[in-house]
Structure 1
Amino acid sequence: MIVIDGASVVTLDRQRREFVGHVVVDGNQIVAVGPGSAPAYDGARVVDGRGCLVTPGFVNTHQHLYQWVTRGLAADATLFGWLTTLYPVWARISEESVHVAAQAALAQLAKTGCTTAADHHYVFPRGGGDLLAAEIAAAAEVGLRFHPSRGSMDRGQKDGGLPPDSVVEDRDEILAATEAAIDRWHDPAPDSMLQIVVAPCSPFSVSGELMRDAAVLARRKGVRMHTHLAETTDEGDWCRETFNCTPLEYAAELGWTGSDVWFAHGIHFDDSEIKQLGQTGTGVAHCPSSNARLGAGIARAADLRAAGSPVGLGVDGAASNEAGSLIEELRHALLFARARGGPQALGVRAALEMATLDGARILGRENEIGSLEVGKLADLAVWRLDTLDHAGIPDPVAALVLGTPPPLDLLLVNGHAVVEHDTLTTVDEATLATQVSKTQADLLATP
């Protein structure tokens, strides 16, 4: 049993209670949350929470873990130029390189408050090994709750797509591999640490037939659906020229809207499309840092939320967001929303909700994670706010969201300590850093 006592607590429960008090964890569940001192529990570990803020663990709704070993490349390119540069490098990834990249990216997510991570893996070079198994193993080693995608691409350069033909797969092969991944890995239990997502890559790298068949497969198996959409104006132009419709019109025609669907980026939606997303409950993974890194634009996150669309946060791939820091996305989401919509476009608590409850809703897990409530899973973060960077800010939520990333005193995932005193407890950071450097050097040196 773990008792966190004397901390500021932001529950994000239905009453949105906030107080100085306690959170008590027994096994993998929260068993008490309330103001004032915690009751005494024999044999419990007591964490002194004075000077700290306890929040629900963050939910990362979009990432490409394998990209951690290709950071810093095409640093000044647009999205399509960036993809053209990096696809040949990604065509050389292997089970070993993906394992190292996933460990490192997930470790960084953990150190920045993330307890649940959704990954969109769609590059499967022939002869590369079992890449999905490699990242699943990495997530178990780091200790995060994990929603990996069995992504796919079947539209290569010979078909007018962007990816090299060496990394695209046959549609029947993709569907069979996706169903096999669901059957092997997906755990629908309420305290599941592993759930599979069906995730064709994007309209310009996937055929319409695959998109439609993937949606049918996902709904038959009862799993969620994810893809990139409306990320750039180039994508919109391409869809109009190729399909005579917008990206969202194209996706909707293929069955890709609904409460079991979420899109990565979602920058270039007009008013009527935002209304449609809200009415259908279709979610969006907002990736403000990556969108800015690639100059793709600023998503209308506040408008999407107002329309009823769940909007979570994502760091995106590390090749377009080298920081890979989920805590930074809260601040950037807020600042970009205000830069676009004015000083009251998005509040500090709304940004925190996007990182927690909204992300949980996107993954279909709002009854299990995303808030601090009795009976929910013990996924939480304890942030230290009494150092020079944050001392004197009276509102702890404002300190967390608007200030620099604070020290992470404790991160619990399913009741287990993954980070303590800003240090990972599950993997060795120095060893992993050495492995990352060697893996990237080897990958770039391979002809």
Structure 2
Amino acid sequence: MATDRTPAPAGRIVIENAHIATVDPHDTEHPSGHVVVAGHRIEAVGPGPAPEVPDAVRRIDASGHLLTPGLVNTHHHFYQWLTRGLAQNAILFDWLVELYPTWAKIDDELCHAAAQGAAAALLKSGCTTAADHAYVFPRGAGDILGAEIAAVAELGMRFHPTRGSMDRSRKDGGLPPDNAVETTEAALAATEEAIDRWHDPSFDSMLRIAAAPCSPFSVSTELMRECAALARRKGVRLHTHGSETLEEEKYCHELFKMGPTDYFESVGWLGDDVWMAHSVHMSDADIDKFAVTGTGVATCPSSNARLAAGVARVPDLLRAGVPVGLGVDGAASNESGELATELRNLLLFNRVKWGADALTPRQALRVATIGGAQVLGREGEIGSIEPGKLADLALWHTDGILHAGITDKTAALVLGAVPPLTLLLVNGTAVVENGRLTRADEETIARNTAAASTTLARRAGLT
């Protein structure tokens, strides 16, 4: 098992005079408050100026700022950073059929560049923790998951990569080409190896692995069952796509004689160690099963709109007690790649579909922070600003031209334009300062991702 054991920052950081949205169980907000960070953890939070802190190495006057927990991204596909802008007018199945032949040409070098581009966009939009669903492992492509992990570690993001898999290609009735899938045995072996090599279950872990067969239409029932057993034997979480489109619903009924949720139940894929991406088309009975079992949902509003999949029943999921987090999804179906924009789209799309009282700005912020932490099994560590939790914090500048006059600072973040990001702390370390990455050169990342995108397009015969 490889772990990130970066020493805790020396001294204390004091942030004061900020409007603080703690997202604690009572949704406590301090119109002018303080937070003290000691090493990797939050030591104190409260109203008014900070108490005297003799060993403070940095004091930040955050007047005109909103301080929130770092945002948590619960579903992404980093490799897709290299295929943005393609298949612009397609629904999911057509989009996959068009893009799979290109994705089958990826390798570890290209995925390192893609992961840096995707992670950079997330960090610059206030995201401190991200789950990535890597499931395309072409033969001879090298160490794709290792390349992504290395790329993200360089930028300082808390990372939950999943070792995905597919074992049903076109010849088996699936969508991906033959060289983009693995055998069932190889997929299980590679998943176990990834867990043994990288998973760190410690409290302040920067790296946790989950097992993640891709979807009901690209994975055999045997792989679904065996992967669930493997994950539970190893003590890691489970992730897959589910109930994303009406076409998927029809496919499941034709192949399995039941809908996606009943199929997941039949193969051991409901539980409080499982989260599903999308969950757009769910019946009341489906929602009840998720609620009773504690199965989580990663809702991806922009991607679902881009592919015309629909709007998830987020208000109903929340009322039922289902854990719900926010996701960007792959950048090939959400070209902005930013998580902060998803707060606004989450609220607006749900109001368009379900009414003006469907979600409030504070509910949207909860989904993007403590909701995501719960989905990833880390609600005791991240997702809110409380003493003892890890110091993953986002400081937003909210008194500039775009937000001046919006007195409700939380509404300014959710309903307004994404505010400039003055500071982003991950594990108590600054990874973004004044809108710029601190641990990598942004222009270099941009050049590398552009070059990698060009290389992939050439390999796939697109240029």
Return the TM-score normalized by structure 1: 0.99
Question: Do residues 427 (structure 1) and 427 (structure 2) align?
Answer: no
For 1:249, the equivalent position in structure 2 comes to 262
- Measured in 2, the distance between the counterparts of 1:227 and 1:161 equals 16
* AA matched with 1:87: Y
- Measured in 2, the distance between the counterparts of 1:314 and 1:223 equals 20
- Measured in 2, the distance between the counterparts of 1:261 and 1:5 equals 38
The superposition leaves residues 67-125 of structure 1 with CA deviations (integer Å, 9 ceiling, x where unpaired) of 00111010111111110111010001011100000011001000001000000000000
- Measured in 1, the distance between the counterparts of 2:241 and 2:37 equals 37
For 2:212, the equivalent position in structure 1 comes to 199
Question: Do residues 94 (structure 1) and 107 (structure 2) align?
Answer: yes
Question: Do residues 12 (structure 1) and 23 (structure 2) align?
Answer: yes
Question: What aligned pairs does 1:258-273 form with structure 2 within 5 A after superposition?
Answer: 258-273=271-286
The superposition leaves residues 299-343 of structure 1 with CA deviations (integer Å, 9 ceiling, x where unpaired) of 001111111111100000000000011011111010111111111
For 2:35, the equivalent position in structure 1 comes to 23
For 1:42, the equivalent position in structure 2 comes to 54
- Measured in 1, the distance between the counterparts of 2:356 and 2:437 equals 37
Alignment size in residue pairs: 447
- Measured in 2, the distance between the counterparts of 1:103 and 1:360 equals 22
- Measured in 1, the distance between the counterparts of 2:306 and 2:416 equals 21
SS at structure 1 position matched to 2:286: helix
Question: Do residues 239 (structure 1) and 259 (structure 2) align?
Answer: no
- Measured in 2, the distance between the counterparts of 1:255 and 1:139 equals 31
1:437 Cα offset (Å): 1.0
Question: What aligned pairs does 1:68-79 form with structure 2 within 5 A after superposition?
Answer: 68-79=81-92
SS at structure 2 position matched to 1:262: strand
Question: What aligned pairs does 1:3-402 form with structure 2 within 5 A after superposition?
Answer: 3-19=14-30, 20-44=32-56, 45-402=58-415
* AA matched with 1:366: E
1:42 Cα offset (Å): 2.9
1:43 Cα offset (Å): 4.3
- Measured in 1, the distance between the counterparts of 2:305 and 2:25 equals 33
The superposition leaves residues 134-168 of structure 1 with CA deviations (integer Å, 9 ceiling, x where unpaired) of 00001101100000000000000000000101011
- Measured in 1, the distance between the counterparts of 2:310 and 2:208 equals 31
Unaligned runs of 5+ in 1: none
Farther off after superposition, 5-14 or 39-48 = 39-48
Question: Do residues 437 (structure 1) and 450 (structure 2) align?
Answer: yes
1:15 Cα offset (Å): 2.5
- Measured in 2, the distance between the counterparts of 1:427 and 1:293 equals 31
For 1:406, the equivalent position in structure 2 comes to 419
For 1:2, the equivalent position in structure 2 comes to 13
* AA matched with 2:37: V
Farther off after superposition, 8-17 or 48-57 = 8-17
* AA matched with 1:299: A
* AA matched with 1:383: W
- Indicate the RMSD between aligned Cα atoms, in angstroms: 0.7
SS at structure 1 position matched to 2:118: helix
1:270 Cα offset (Å): 0.8
Farther off after superposition, 371-380 or 9-18 = 9-18
* AA matched with 2:19: S
Identity within the alignment, %: 61
SS at structure 2 position matched to 1:235: helix
1:14 Cα offset (Å): 2.2
SS at structure 1 position matched to 2:139: coil
- Measured in 2, the distance between the counterparts of 1:41 and 1:69 equals 46
